[in-house]
Structure 1
Amino acid sequence: MRAIIAVPAIALLVYRAYSKKSLTPGGIFAAFLTAVAHAVHPWNLPFVLLVVFFLAGTRATHVKENIKATLTLASKGTSGGEGPRTHVQVFANSLTASIFSLLHAYQLHKRKQALFAAAEAGNTAAAGLGSLCFSWGGDLLVIGIIANYACVAADTFSSELGILSKGEPRLITSWTLRKVPRGTNGGVSLVGLGAGLLGSMIVVTAAVLTLPLCSEMTEGRFGGGDEWSLEQRRWLIGGLTLWGLLGSIMDSILGGLFQSTVKDVRTGKVVEGEGGVRVLVSSADGGIVPVATELKAALLSGEGKDAVEKQGVAAPEEGPSKNRYDAKNKHRRASFGDEKPSRVVENGWDLLDNNDVNFLMAFGMSVGAMSVASWYWGVPLSSICNL
């Protein structure tokens, strides 16, 4: 991408993120680094996809934002809704594409050098060195870049717009597809799937309009390639659009299995972690908290003196207020009066947080798209390492 375009475009992108407060300061710095990594590519494709994803994703986030804020709770106890995105969230969505973009930029640079060297030497076999435009059966890394943004856009649209569905979502990892609260990891709805398809379609359309496809003008020329047929264009658009939707579904499966969803017992709403991090759950859950933590809780509550003494730990002297519900008792703990926790795990194993799931989905689906293209085109997957 030309510097005369890249520099002001990056400046505008950073300014918009700052003025709209769509990113935290760390997120803005991460977005700047990501934009630079995309802009150094000689094609406009990577940077355009980054901008389209950022603008479209931000727009989807702000659709009926006030309503969405009432459907979930933030981990700090305030209304839910998507706040400014952090640097971790930026890298989770774009790091794979950044790496692939830099690798492909280097590939094009080396290929161009080889083509010029062959032309100067009068080598008629220079066409076998590859093309500088995107040909059918061409560079797999380009497929990976487009697939990354098609998947993360589909996931963003599905999450931000699917939550507005009139009906409750259904848990995709449940054999019975049981209904779950809005915002549950792994919860899907027809509205969410339709929104995901729309997000993927927006990115793929932008990609096709931006790609320097080999055409009749480049056929037979230096660094050129065979012209794309109409059927080939349809396969590229349809395949990548559906792949983006599949990425959104895969994100739901990973989230439903390996990311715990925490629900607030009082309201029945899902509790969202700030910046996509894990949400803490109450310790009164019957045995998953370490013994030391249980002993400390028993001491502070003033009700576990006997149990503590059985463990060989001396209990502190009780103060003047022995009633654990007395407002003057500063060691009392929050409770409904029936010792039930205020937060419970709705579903999922607590192995990953939301950012981990997003990164694994983006990376896995990008590599998967390249693998499928490698098989369909008959191009070895090892070609991505030809640097």
Structure 2
Amino acid sequence: MRTTTVLISGASVAGPALAFWLQRYGFDVTVVEKSPGLRAGGQAIDFTGETHMTVLERMGILDDIARRQTGKTDMVMVNEAGVRQAVISGDFTGGDIEILRGDLADVMYQRTAGSCEYLFGDTITALTELNDGMYVEFAKAPARRFDLVFGCDGIHSRVRRLAFGPESEFVTHSGYYYALAGASHWEENNTGEYSERVVSYACGTPGRLAVTGGSKANQWYIFASPELEYSRDDFDQQRRIVAEKFAGIGGQVPGMLAELPLLDGFYLDSLSKVSMKNFVSGRVALVGDAGYGITLGGFGTGLAVVGAYVLAGELAAAGGDYEVAFPRYQEIMKQYLRKADDSRPGPFLAPKTALGLRFRNWFVGSRAFGLMLKYTDSAKNDIDLVDYPAMIAAR
């Protein structure tokens, strides 16, 4: 019987996670990534609850993540005079376990590099569905045929644009942007773990929040803005946008802006949400942010890892028959997504009015905030997780 060939676009989180399961189930996997290599650092991402922990345990990477985990960071809200206004606990921002995005990608890459083909520094330029597969053209590599193609390439997914339509049809801008600067990869300390409690300080005015310190990133910004026009490859231009948006704020912010041009690991993007009636089409399926992204909403990475687990499991259970597996995958994930639809980190962290700031500062210390955390944790575990590895191994 011929081995099913698959192409995965994207080597951040969803891509290596999907590659891990598909190669385990006997698929022939190729991963294409536009960056010249794995991207180090990035924002801290967290996993919470039984569902997330179960998938990570079944992947056999939970111990690796624990060794690279970042410290849980209490975010202290201060005004421009440095006076403490509120504290957001690291238990909220860090979940059960937390790791830098780049470090998680590296953990999964190490588990797949020997059994999967990785094409770095390249990207898909065209997709054509044939009767017996997908004809894929690349910017650099020769065109090839694959049985299935998966878009794991983020909220600005090229696969989604080529197979489903323009980004404007599916991505809703929330009116907020966020930027990171200075996040670097984990370095093992003497104990072999990095899990101490640390503190970051957040200073803001209506519609703007600037955070510095902690183990997650040297600097983090979030700000309200209409949609911006900028080059996604021009980081100096993006740094200037941040400097302009935060000009005039006192306290720690001027020092942060002075340091900003010197920091690496810079990233700017909109806080946006992907909404799709269908994230499968023909021989193409989307996973993670490409199909159901909720930027900085606390769900994104967990959704990607769970989505990869479900998609690969359904494909293996169906013997590679995508016409059976894809509808099942979509049905399961749409049920899981129901409670994730109300995530709005921008207005919560950087409300646009002084009254909104006062409410935020009161709310994070209230009983209602605790109830919201319980609801969020419940949403992350609201799925009947099939034990695909055991089911398939028993055949």
TM class by shorter chain equals under 0.3
TM-score (norm 1): 0.27
- Greater percentage in helix: 1
TM-score (norm 2): 0.26
- Greater percentage in strand: 2
- Give the structure with higher Rg (CA): 1
